[in-house]
Amino acid sequence: MVQGKVRRIVLLCSAGVSTNLLVRRMEAEAARLGYPCSVSFYPVNEVQEAASFADVMLLAPQAASNLPEFQVKYPNVKSAVIPKDLYATIDADKILDLAQKIAGDY
């Protein structure tokens, strides 16, 4: 990982209830690992604002159909869909790992 670089991870979802909990757990896991990042969430319809500062965008499974469009519109922001099983169990450790891999931090 680039030293001193704080990754900006954005989770995109429809409702935000589960995602809010996931954000808090991902922040706690990042702190535990010493991984410098900020994690936030936005509704899918606010993707333009989210993409303006995000390094990585992770879409909730229910927003998966938007991924191809977002990859074309925001080619400088790395993006992926969170696997359903990880999202359903709010597996912050593995989702943070996914974000790190997508960002190219290892």
Of the candidates 82, 46, 85, 45, the residue with the CA atom closest to the CA atom of residue 61:
82
Roughly what angle, to the nearest 10 degrees, separates helices 17-33 and 92-103? 70
Positive or negative torsion for Cα 50, 78, 62, 84: negative
Q: Which residues are catalytic?
A: 13
What values do phi and psi take at 92, rounded to 5? -60, -40
- The vertex-100 CA angle with 18 and 8, nearest 5°, equals 70
